[in-house]
Structure 1
Amino acid sequence: MSEGQRGVEDGFGGSDIDPIELLRVAWARKFRILFVALIATAIGIGWAISQPRVYQADALVQIEKRQGTVSGLQELTGLGNAGGESTNTQIQILTSRRVLGEVVDRLDLTLAARPVPLPVLRDIATLWPGEPPRTPWIDRWIRPYAWSGEAITVARFSMDRDAPYSVRLTRDERPGGYTVRLPDGRVLDGRVGEMLRDAQTGLELTVSELEGEPGRTFAVARATRAAAIAGLRGGLQIQQQPGSEVLRMTYRAGSREEAVRRLDAVAEEFLTQNVARSAAETEQSLAFIEQQLPGALRDLETAQAEINAFRVSEQSIDLNAETQGLLNRVTSLRAELAQLDIREDEISRRYTRNHPVYQTLIANRAAYQEQLQMLEDETGTLPETQQRFFNLNQELEVAREIYLQLLNRQQELELVRAGTVGNVRILDTAQANPFPVAPNRTRAVALAFALGLLLAAGLVLARHLMRSRIDDIADLDDFSLPLYGVIKRLPGRRKVGGRTQPLMLDSARKQHEPVIEAFQSLRTALYFGMMDETPRAVVVSSASPGDGKSFVSANLAALSAKGDSSVCLVDADMRKGYLRRYFKLPRGTKGLSEYLSGQATLEEIVHEISPGLSVIAAGTYPPNPADLLMSARFRELVTLLGDAFDLTIYDAPPILAVTDPTIIRRLVPRMLCVIGHRRTERGMVEAMIRTLDKTGGKIDGLVLNDYQPGRGSGAEGQQYGYYYSSRYRYQASDKSA
């Protein structure tokens, strides 16, 4: 295995990513990255300017602990604020459809009417100073869209169909006039302040205000109630202030006035429903008391009548002190039990039987009933007449106590109803910030710039890591082959018929100076590399056509022939060789094919171009060039040229196209391969090395041709670009050294 082959396997067998190299690559492309970042910044500026401005209003609401409205309930249970609700519960109520739906209905938020903004650019026109441009084509394009000062107010809008539905208005030339385009395509004429009706669609439209130049369009739409509630909820945010029962409510809308209007409506509706809910509890208790009062009064009157009748029938009856005390105790216990019955009816409306409040009431009733049973057992020892009077008097006292308690409760509940305020208090009404909260243009521009930098750097690094062509000089290091020279691209070279125009370097032309210097470096490297070789000959080839091997061969031969050296340039491409064009040899010039086929002598095919430089053209293209190259006559030619010239250069066909270069390589001691910058694929170089390795040959060095400083994806190109921009310049001088 050759050294080049091992280098291919080592270079592509699993190379690690070098962060330092990636940083160098990014730095080498800093201006390109910055350019992309600036473009992204411009896009970010355009986006930030075009987005509609959003204003925010805020308000503060306090949630107080709710106090029970049922008198005596807290004393009965001992649980304090058993009926209180958490702040999280109040937040859920505040954002419920019950509250927001009422706001939507009250403000008619299902109706939306606004000027139609510019497509994509949207509100960017609001930043334009003064009137819009008045050129005909610009005016025709922007006339339908909002520019500045447009306004519309719709008092009524409905159609005989389920929402959503919409129409589009266009301001016309009439004073206060407009046209309406219906969904079915018909156009109706309307006027501000007048009802516009259409029997076919059931349209009823009243526009109370319409401001704008003729031609401006306005969109009027009716959304579903659910969509309006969702939109209202989407703009509403509620946060509990840390360490308090205060809620901070914020709302975002397209104008300060709209944000304040909607947030105030939400807070007021929440307060109204909270007060109504508290009053409803009191109303229920009061209705129950008023329902019980007539029956309690009848029981009192009945008990009074019965005891009066008993006294009349018995003439006179007195109770001793002990019996009177027993009567008072029994009466008190029965009154307490009656009071518990009333409270149970009220508590059962709020709690289940298993609730601690309900269980406490049941336990108290059982204790009272046990005491009452003990007292009733004591009354059994009284005489019959006293027992009868005792029972009647007991019923009278209980009926009187119940009736008085119900009257007291009625008065208490009426006072509670009159003073019901709920447990919600609006601390601060809605107030809007004078400056929009969105879009945050500074943040948007900074983010766009950062994203542009990341995107550009990512693309540069990805391109560097995924590159398939020879993009940088550093890419050639993967093949472990010497780099003999780097030939810069010459400005002004054009392709004719798919081929680059033949060009011989001229030292008198300043633009050729850096390329001539590169060829001189190549000649020097080749000279020292071939000092001990016999014959002193080199094959110049490439991976594919168009890489510039003929350009390199011709100019290398011309520069090497200067001085005392004799150089022979052989066009060994008997398939498509055209070296004769570089030296303006006529078509049909005898060359290599005629010599190898025995149709010409060596003297007939060697053409002296200048002192020290001779050229052998390809000759007529034969049908069997490979067979001719494998003949003894070609082997003899290599020997003869090696003896006759100091240097022989063979311009061979591309290695991957035909087998001719491998045949020539076996007879010539050294071989150079020309690599086209940003043209030759990395895989081609690999294949070229493997092809020669199979035949026992190898590539001795590489020449990078058509190099464009600064066009590579890595940092190496920048370094060579600096070299070319700061090269030595030789100037004529009459002063001796």
Structure 2
Amino acid sequence: MPPKPGIPALIYNPVIPNDSIDVVRLLGMLLDYKWLIACIVLVFTLTGIVYASLQTPIYRSDALVQVEGRRTVSPIGGPENNGDETIQGASIAAEVEILRSRMVLGKVVDRLGLDTIFSPQKLPVIGDYVLRNNIVRPDVSGLPLVGGWLNKANHPALWAGENIEITHFDVVDGLRGQPLILKVMEEEKYHLYMNEEFLGEGDLGTEAYFIDGAVQVRVKTLNAHAGAEFTLIKLSQLDAINALASRLSISEVGGGNRGPSTGMLRVTLTGADRNEIRQTLDTILDTFLIQNVERKAEATQRSLAFLEQQAPELRSKLSNAEDRLSEYRASVDSIDVDAEGQSIIQQFIDIERQVNEVSIQEADLAQRFTRNHPTYQSLARQKAYLISERDRLEQRVSTMPAAQQEVIRRTRDVEVTQAIYVNVLNKLQELELVQAGTVGTLRIIDTAAVGRVPIYPNKASMVGMSFILGLLVAIIVVVVRGLFNRGVESPEQLESLGLPVYATVPLSGDQAQLERVFQKRRRKAGNSGILANSHPADTAVEALRGLRTALHFAMLDASNNCLMICGPSPGIGKSFVALNLSAVCVQGGHRVLVIDADLRKGNLHRAFDHASEKGLSEVLSGRLELSSAIRSSGFDRFDYLSRGMAAPNPSELLMNVRFTELMDKVSKEYDLVILDTPPVLAVTDAAIIGKQAGTSLMVARFQMNPPKEIKLAINRLENSGVEVRGCIINGMQRKASAAYGYGYYQYSYTPDRHKKGLAEHV
């Protein structure tokens, strides 16, 4: 909406296209609150650094194990390889499960005592850090509160250098997993508690029994101050095994679904103690290797037992066969076997030896495979063939003379039994050698090793994540703050309401300093509480000088020379504008009276370091003459009228005819009368005062008063017959988010002794 006729207004043009407003405004908001963002990011980053430093480092120990092809020992053929790739792959998976089994881990738990936990009482939050970095108890006895707390004789927390050595600790099954508290006492004694219940007292170096022997403790050394506490826990073996298994990881190196198995296993163990995890992993591998070797030795021992059982039987059978042959020859005189008979006997010997070997192999395979297994079926076919060959030889022998048949059969029995017996004796010797040099199918390639760099925490990652999180939180805070901050930011927003903008007053740093000085009552002689008098070159004062020029033309057609300065809400700088506008008008040669018409909370008198009494409320109530109430500001042609005593009925006083008479009188005596009013939306006083003023201006605070709020205040005044001629935007700041869509220019041109000439674009 264009400005009203005769009213000059500042013209502002957008400098950035509408289609880029949102993005640019967002970037501007981030730039405006860069220090807030930096502080939030710094806090999050420092928190991340502290958090990462306080975390207990977790290390990883790793080792490499080779699983060779599964081999067994045949009772008659020594070590043999099954040659089945399926069995080879299955053996890898089986060895992995054996390594994770309770059989292996249980032995490790018992061997290293991992079912026993001794934990010292630590300081809150920093306890691990103190012990980890060997920080001894500081001498801070002189510090209040903290010093007494840290040096208290019976404080339960331990520092570096304090420890305990327990050589024996055992509890009954019903108390496993139950924490017990050991408290150090004077004279090498200690007390034991369970659930805060005192169990008894123990002495250093002696076995102590509690709860009728349900708890047994032997403390060897005790290097801790009196009052220190330790937590003792005896876990069940299953809980200890599960705790160990949760830290153990096993994976095959190489191979995979698409390639052959490499048989190489990477075994890792994690923990906070580097020495503990290295020792534990080495113990796991040793236990794993020992059980593997024992398993292989067990197979060899089983074969030896079988052959040792067969040897006496074969020896007896051989003796009987020799006796039968000797008796037959003696009964029929000596009968020699011809060449054909010798050949048949030799074939019988070979076949019987092979049948015997196959039978032994069959007995061994029957313990490991079913009859449908390919290896077992192949051996059965071989045995059937040998038996058929033996039957064929029997048929040949049956065609010979009876005497020769008997000699051949008895000679065959002797030769075959003797060959088998000799073979069994040879295999017994071989298996004894094999048993002496038995090795398993496992080989430790790399023993346990622990890196110096922990796998957790990753401090760089934690700090980086803290930085990113802080940045995101800061951006969210700024964006949410910007979304809820709908205060006016540009003159266009007010001009769209049909309200011309007469001035944009920059936020003055000198004014804030001036207020602090006056609050502390350290004002120097000759200084004023008005910015226009103490800092005439301030940019805010220059903006008010521009307003003075605009008002000169705006008030030409006004009904009187009274100017009302109002605003929708408190704390927006109405009094600042009224006072300093009065001062610049006085500097322009006008005789000015500024009236504090806020009978409730007016504070114009503070700028002059005077009391509020004897002011407007006394005049309107008839208790004081106007001439006695008007005071001099200390400057020529500049007077003011304070609010007076706080009145219980300010609206009624303002509606009194005395107020109209007062305004008529001062309008004739002064060139300009400026009235500072209470907030429009809070009370109705401004609407009453506006009736007596020829010109009314609305003050809006930058990024504080929303356009809708200003529109509501204007409507309330217009409903009472008060016309608002224009607006003043107070507290303008150079903010990127506010400058994206309009040009707000602020100039200063002062003598060199104050500052150099400059032009700033906000």
TM-score, normalised on structure 1?
0.74
Say whether 1:686 aligns with 2:691: no
Task: Pick one of 61, 69, 72 that aligns with 2:73.
Answer: 69
Q: How far apart, in 1, do the equivalents of 2:738 and 2:239 lie?
A: 57
Say whether 1:467 aligns with 2:481: yes
Unaligned 5+ residue runs, structure 2? 4-13, 142-146, 256-261, 496-500, 517-527, 756-762
Provide closer, same or farther for how the CA distance between residues 550 and 412 of structure 1 changes in structure 2, counting only shifts above 3 A. Answer: same
1:349 CA displacement: 2.3
Say whether 1:404 aligns with 2:419: no
Residue in structure 2 matched with residue 121 of structure 1 by the alignment: 126
Residue in structure 2 matched with residue 542 of structure 1 by the alignment: 567
1:205 CA displacement: 0.9
Residue in structure 2 matched with residue 132 of structure 1 by the alignment: 138
Moved more, 71-80 or 95-104: 71-80
Deviations 1:467-525 (A, max 9, x none): 1688699845793655722344634759xxxxxxxx96254435x86475265256257
1:219 CA displacement: 2.8
Q: Write the mapping of 1:102-251 to structure 2, written as runs, cut at 5 A.
A: 102-126=107-131, 127=133, 132-135=138-141, 137=148, 138-140=150-152, 143-160=155-172, 161-174=174-187, 176-183=188-195, 185-186=197-198, 188-200=200-212, 202-236=214-248, 249=267, 251=269
1:407 CA displacement: 2.8
Say whether 1:337 aligns with 2:341: no
The residue matched to 1:206 in structure 2 has which SS? strand
1:101 CA displacement: 1.3
Residue in structure 1 matched with residue 519 of structure 2 by the alignment: none
Provide closer, same or farther for how the CA distance between residues 255 and 124 of structure 1 changes in structure 2, counting only shifts above 3 A. Answer: same
Q: How far apart, in 1, do the equivalents of 2:749 and 2:221 lie?
A: 75
Task: Pick one of 558, 581, 585 that aligns with 1:556.
Answer: 581
Provide closer, same or farther for how the CA distance between residues 256 and 581 of structure 1 changes in structure 2, counting only shifts above 3 A. Answer: closer
Residue in structure 1 matched with residue 364 of structure 2 by the alignment: 346
Provide closer, same or farther for how the CA distance between residues 611 and 298 of structure 1 changes in structure 2, counting only shifts above 3 A. Answer: same
Provide closer, same or farther for how the CA distance between residues 560 and 248 of structure 1 changes in structure 2, counting only shifts above 3 A. Answer: same
Q: Write the mapping of 1:238-637 to structure 2, written as runs, cut at 5 A.
A: 249=267, 251-307=269-325, 311=329, 320-379=338-397, 381-382=399-400, 393-427=411-445, 429-430=447-448, 437=454, 444=459, 446-447=460-461, 449-467=463-481, 475-476=489-490, 479=493, 481=495, 484-488=504-508, 490-491=512-513, 493=515, 505-510=530-535, 514=538, 517=541, 520=544, 523-524=547-548, 526-527=550-551, 530=554, 540-565=565-590, 578=602, 586-589=615-618, 611=637
1:453 CA displacement: 3.4
Q: How far apart, in 2, do the equivalents of 1:30 and 1:64 lie?
A: 65
Q: How far apart, in 1, do the equivalents of 2:492 and 2:299 lie?
A: 87
Task: Pick one of 94, 101, 107 that aligns with 2:99.
Answer: 94
Task: Pick one of 723, 730, 733 that aligns with 1:704.
Answer: 730
Moved more, 374-383 or 613-622: 613-622
Deviations 1:186-224 (A, max 9, x none): 153322221111244622111122223344333322122
8 Å CA contact 1:505–1:516 kept in 2: the answer is no
The residue matched to 2:126 in structure 1 has which SS? coil
Q: How far apart, in 1, do the equivalents of 2:158 and 2:191 lie?
A: 17
The residue matched to 1:285 in structure 2 has which SS? helix
Q: How far apart, in 2, do the equivalents of 1:405 and 1:555 lie?
A: 126
Provide closer, same or farther for how the CA distance between residues 395 and 646 of structure 1 changes in structure 2, counting only shifts above 3 A. Answer: farther
The residue matched to 1:69 in structure 2 has which SS? strand
TM-score, normalised on structure 2?
0.72
Provide closer, same or farther for how the CA distance between residues 729 and 267 of structure 1 changes in structure 2, counting only shifts above 3 A. Answer: farther
Q: How far apart, in 2, do the equivalents of 1:58 and 1:199 lie?
A: 43
1:258 CA displacement: 3.1
Provide closer, same or farther for how the CA distance between residues 526 and 308 of structure 1 changes in structure 2, counting only shifts above 3 A. Answer: farther
8 Å CA contact 2:505–2:544 kept in 1: the answer is no
What's the C-alpha RMSD, in Å, of the aligned pairs?
Answer: 5.4
Provide closer, same or farther for how the CA distance between residues 207 and 439 of structure 1 changes in structure 2, counting only shifts above 3 A. Answer: same
Amino acid at match of 1:186: F
8 Å CA contact 1:55–1:254 kept in 2: the answer is yes
Q: How far apart, in 1, do the equivalents of 2:179 and 2:337 lie?
A: 89
Provide closer, same or farther for how the CA distance between residues 106 and 363 of structure 1 changes in structure 2, counting only shifts above 3 A. Answer: same
8 Å CA contact 2:594–2:641 kept in 1: the answer is yes
1:320 CA displacement: 4.7
Residue in structure 1 matched with residue 759 of structure 2 by the alignment: none
Amino acid at match of 2:711: I
Q: Write the mapping of 1:34-49 to structure 2, written as runs, cut at 5 A.
A: 34-40=38-44, 42-44=46-48, 46-47=50-51
Amino acid at match of 2:708: E
Unaligned 5+ residue runs, structure 1? 4-9, 495-502, 595-602
Amino acid at match of 1:98: M
1:106 CA displacement: 1.0
Q: How far apart, in 2, do the equivalents of 1:295 and 1:17 lie?
A: 106
